[in-house]
Amino acid sequence: MRKVEGRKLQLTGGSTFVVSLPKRWVTDAGLKAGDTVFLEPQVDGAVQIRARPMERPLARRRVFEEKGAERRDHLLRKLIGAYIAGFGYIEIRFKPEAGPFVRRVARDFSRMVIGPEVIEETRNSVVIQDLSDTAELSPEKCLRRMHLTVRAMHEDALAALRSRDDTLARDVAQRDQDVDRLYWMVAKQYNLAHTAGAAPRNAGEKTELHNYRLIAKLFERIGDHAERIARTYPVFAEHGLEPRLLKELDAARDSAIAILDKAFFALLTADIDSANEAVDDLDRHQKLIDGLSHHVASKKGEELLALAAIVDSLARSANYATDIAEIAIDYAVSKGAETP
């Protein structure tokens, strides 16, 4: 069992705190007076002291052998899987005749995710390197951006239908790609933290990363439903939506966003009461959805299908938001002090 020593802080110069280090540790580390030590704050408030800076681990490499021009989606999925798994270098080897196809997919992949760039090309290979720094874009920053993006997507999706704005509807669909990029970044950070040989992380940080990954996936699904609403635009482009129905849709949209905002606030602040309010609000939201479903049932043809998709997306988005609230409750309870 490791020995724990208590050492007092001393104030020097009126503004600097100093603490002495164990002599044995200094000697074993080969340090002497005047040498520099390196401090690394941890998420739980602790500080690690190192005799030398921590070396960045060598980037892992993944090689794919492409025997022919397979489907674009198949190669893309493999590249995204390698990215999420934390491979810093991805090499694709292929026969020269497959070169145009592979290079096109490699560039598409680099635009779809955060960090990877094509750094080397030959007649029969492409090398992609992940240049992203996870320290600069933490999982929490990703979630904050995802939250703002998906709520704006839901607002703009219905605004596009109201104003019959084709450009705005297309922009909503394009923003879904930004949400996907952020989700893949969070998934990658989660996997890196659990990869063999990764720098040790305390149990609390791993739990936090697990929650962030779950929530990022929920945000990604909420974004998908905003895109789904925007893609109904062609059905209403000529005649628009009747005012009464638009008013009901706006009310359901506002209700879903309010639940989402409350749930995410509860997560960031570990506020169990706010999280419970978000979950309880789902009953009121469902009444709005039921009223919309009754109204929509009188429609026919393409209009009926499009409106049913919109109502379903507003219902599912609120449900995903309450899932975030329930994760917030679990996390807040786990962080609370135990009763003696």
Which of 50-54, 157-161, 167-171, 298-302 has the lowest average pLDDT? 50-54
Mean of pLDDT values over 215-238: 95
Domain edges within the chain: 10-50, 60-130, 139-335
CATH architecture for the domain at 60-130: 2-Layer Sandwich (3.30)
pLDDT at 200: 45
* Confidence tier at 149 by pLDDT (50, 70, 90): very high
pLDDT in tens, 88-106: 899 999 988 888 889 999 9
Say what the pLDDT of residue 202 is. 53
Report whether pLDDT(252) > 50. Answer: yes
Domain 139-335, CATH homologous superfamily name and number: Phosphate transport system protein phou homolog 2; domain 2 (1.20.58.220)
3-state secondary structure the chain: CCCCCCCCCEEECCCEEECCCCHHHHHHCCCCCCCCCEEEECCCCCEEEECCCCCCCCCEEEEEEECCCCCHHHHHHHHHHHHHCCEEEEEEEECHHHHHHHHHHHHHHHHHCCCEEEEEEECCEEEEEECCCCCCCCHHHHHHHHHHHHHHHHHHHHHHHHHCCHHHHHHHHHHHHHHHHHHHHHHHHHHHHCCCCCCCCCHHHHHHHHHHHHHHHHHHHHHHHHHHHHCCHHHHCCCCCCHHHHHHHHHHHHHHHHHHHHHHHHHHHCCHHHHHHHHHHHHHHHHHHHHHHHHHCCCCHHHHHHHHHHHHHHHHHHHHHHHHHHHHHHHHHHHCCCCC
Let me know if the fold of 60-130 is the same as that of 139-335.
Answer: no
Q: Evaluate if residue 201 carries a pLDDT over 60.
A: no
Mean pLDDT for the chain?
86
Packing angle of the helix pair 203-230, 301-335 (nearest 10 deg): 170
Can you tell me the distance from the alpha carbon of 102 to that of 67, in angstroms, rounded to the nearest whole number? 11
Confidence of residue 60 (pLDDT cuts 50, 70, 90): confident
At residue 251, does pLDDT exceed 90? yes
| Residue 88 structure tokens | 């810093």
Q: Is the pLDDT of residue 30 over 80?
A: no
How far, rounded to the nearest angstrom, does the alpha carbon of residue 278 sit from its chain's CA centroid?
21
* Whole-number Å distance between alpha carbons of 239 and 77: 39
